[in-house]
Structure formats: C-alpha cells, structure tokens
C-alpha cells in the first residue's frame, strides 16, 4: 500500500513540476527609440494635426492559431506599435518645426497600417500524455501609408509608404486545448502575452523583430521625407510657391514585390526579417547627419 502511495506522490509532484516549467517569461518588445541628438524645434507658425493611426488586419490562419498565446501576444504588440508610432510621429513633426493642433491645421497627417498574418500548413498532432499540439509556419507582412495633406487645398498631398516583411516563414509548434491526454501531465496553455509556452521563444523573437523593424522604418521614412515647416513658412511669402509640392507625389521606402502576400518557405536565418540590410539602406541619418531612430 505504501508503495502505491509513494508512486502517487511522485506522479503528483512530477505533474506540479511539469506545470511550473511549462512557461517562460518573454518581455514585450521595446519600441522606444534613442533620444534624438537634436530635440529643439523651430516655431515656424505652421500647424499640423495628427489623426489617430488606422490599423487594418488581413489574416489567414487556422482556428488553432486564433486561440494561441502567440496570437494574444501579436494583438498586444499591435496596440504597442500604434501607441508608440503615434507618440513618435508627433515628435518627428515637432522636430520638423510644426506646431501640433487639434483643429484648423495647415496640414494633416493621416496614417494607415496594413498587417497581413498568414499561417501555412497547420498540422494537428497528439500526445497521449501532454495532449494535442499544432505544427505550422507563420509569415507576417506590414505596409504603412502616411498621407501629408494640405488642409487648405486637400487635393495637394504627399504619400509616404514603408514596408517590412519576413523573408521566410517561422516554424511553429504550439499546444492547443483539448479533452484528451492525462490531465495531470497535460500542457497548460498560457493566455498571458509575456508568458509563453516553452519552445515559442524563438518564434516570438522573430515576430518582435518584424514589429520593431517596421516601426523604425516607418519613423525614418517620415523623418527623411516630411518637409521642414520653416521651408513652407518661407515659401508662404510667395503665393505661387506656397503649398507647391507635387500633387499626390509619393516616397516609398523598401517597396515589396507584389506577390499576393506570399512567403518563402525556407529555413530561418539571421536575416529573416527584411530589416538590417534592407532597412538600413534607407539611412537613419537625415541631411544634417543626425541619427534619429536607431
């Protein structure tokens, strides 16, 4: 009898140990940029209104992924991306000499971010002890469009675009809820974005890198191409030159090939995110040699 009692205690302690070691804490990505070298802005008298960023999602993934902790984490990252972009876009506008207002602006900045998430080849497998899990591949693509609009002549606008995508798919293996398996040993599924099931650290890292790459690319695109307010103010003395930028002109950083949101199914490598080389080709230095967002 004692033998069975000790076996039960052993199994119970093993189950508790298994549950506590199922998760690993992974902090959310840090979107905060380094402090710009030059932060003082010039009072040009030109005002600008920044509208809230619109987020558009176009997803193609399984119901399994919909209920996974990675999906929960991505949703939180989208919130942080929007929040930090809005904050830092205001910083860029100030650095360019604009006064930010809520009504009757000279110019308006409208932004749209499109995020496409695709899961390929989800395959459900099962384990008698730990329960069911899914193996699949994940791709993420971002596209940002910023419209710099003359509020006095709305037909005059400048479009700024930025793009970031994973060059290859991320291999995933994540647990899913089910009624099978031995409850004592079944994998507990996390619902906290910073508490991931073991084995998801690397995918989370790749996803984080893609968000940060797009964040930096978007801010640098805006900083490098947004006209200086002082230049606009000076040209206002000549009515023929005021608001004279080309109608619907466009600046595009890192254009993506039109491929119907397709991703290469090749092994992950250190250049999985179209970030380091490609994005840095859009130099982080402005014409004054000041590094703004690294």
Of 272, 223, 270, 277, which Cα lies nearest the Cα of 254?
A: 277
Q: How far apart are CA 291 and CA 284, in angstroms?
A: 6
Q: Give the pLDDT score at 285.
A: 46
Give the tokens for residue 52. Answer: 């809230």
The alpha carbons of the chain give a radius of gyration, in whole angstroms, of 24
Q: Is 208 exposed, middle or buried (0-12, 13-18, 19+ CB in 10 A)?
A: buried
Which residues contact residue 64 at a Cβ distance below 8 angstroms, ignoring those fewer than 6 apart?
122, 124, 134, 136, 174, 176
Q: How far apart are CA 147 and CA 54, in angstroms?
A: 12
Give the tokens for residue 172. Answer: 């995933």
SS3 state of residue 207: helix
Dihedral pair phi/psi, residue 49, rounded to 5° = -115, 130
Give the tokens for residue 203. Answer: 């995918």
The answer to whether residues 30 and 89 touch, using CB atoms and an 8 Å cutoff, is no
Q: Give the pLDDT score at 292.
A: 47
Topology of domain 25-281 in CATH is Double Stranded RNA Binding Domain (3.30.160)
pTM of the model: 0.77
Of 43, 3, 249, which Cα lies nearest the Cα of 146?
A: 249
SS3 state of residue 172: strand
User: Which residues are paired to 136 by β-bridges?
Assistant: 172
Q: Give the pLDDT score at 76.
A: 96
* Domain parsing of the chain, residue ranges: 25-281
Give the max Cα distance, the chain.
99
Cβ neighbour number for residue 36 with a 10 Å cutoff: 17
The answer to whether residues 13 and 74 touch, using CB atoms and an 8 Å cutoff, is no
All residue ranges of the chain with pLDDT < 50 are 4-20, 35, 37, 181-185, 238-259, 266-271, 275-292, 294
Q: Give the pLDDT score at 93.
A: 93
């Amino acid at each position: 009898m004692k033998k069975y009692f000790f076996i039960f205690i052993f199994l119970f302690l093993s189950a508790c140990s298994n549950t506590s070691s199922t998760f690993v804490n992974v902090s959310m990505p840090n979107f905060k940029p380094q402090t710009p070298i030059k932060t003082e802005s010039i009072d040009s008298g030109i005002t600008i209104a920044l509208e809230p960023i619109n987020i558009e999602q176009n997803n193609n993934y399984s119901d399994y992924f919909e209920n996974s902790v990675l999906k929960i984490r991505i949703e939180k990252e989208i919130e942080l991306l929007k929040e930090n972009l809005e904050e830092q876009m205001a910083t860029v506008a100030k650095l360019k000499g604009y006064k930010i207002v809520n009504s009757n602006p000279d110019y308006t900045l409208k932004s749209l971010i499109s995020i496409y998430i695709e899961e390929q080849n989800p395959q459900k497998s099962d384990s008698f002890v730990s329960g069911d899990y899914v193996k699949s591949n994940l791709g993420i693509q971002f596209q940002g469009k910023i419209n710099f609009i003359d509020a006095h002549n709305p037909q005059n606008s400048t479009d700024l675009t930025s793009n970031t995508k994973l060059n290859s798919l991320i291999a995933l293996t994540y647990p899913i809820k089910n009624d099978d398996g031995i409850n004592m040993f079944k994998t507990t599924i996390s619902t906290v974005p910073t508490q991931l099931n073991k084995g998801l650290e690397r995918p989370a890292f790749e996803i984080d890198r893609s968000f940060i790459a797009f964040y930096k690319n978007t801010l640098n695109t805006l900083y490098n191409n947004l006209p200086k307010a002082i230049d606009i103010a000076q040209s206002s003395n000549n009515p023929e030159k005021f608001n004279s930028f080309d109608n619907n002109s466009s600046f595009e950083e890192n254009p993506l090939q039109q491929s119907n949101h397709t991703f290469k199914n090749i092994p992950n490598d250190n250049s999985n995110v179209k970030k380091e080389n490609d994005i840095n080709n859009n130099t982080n230095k402005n014409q004054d040699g000041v590094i703004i967002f690294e």
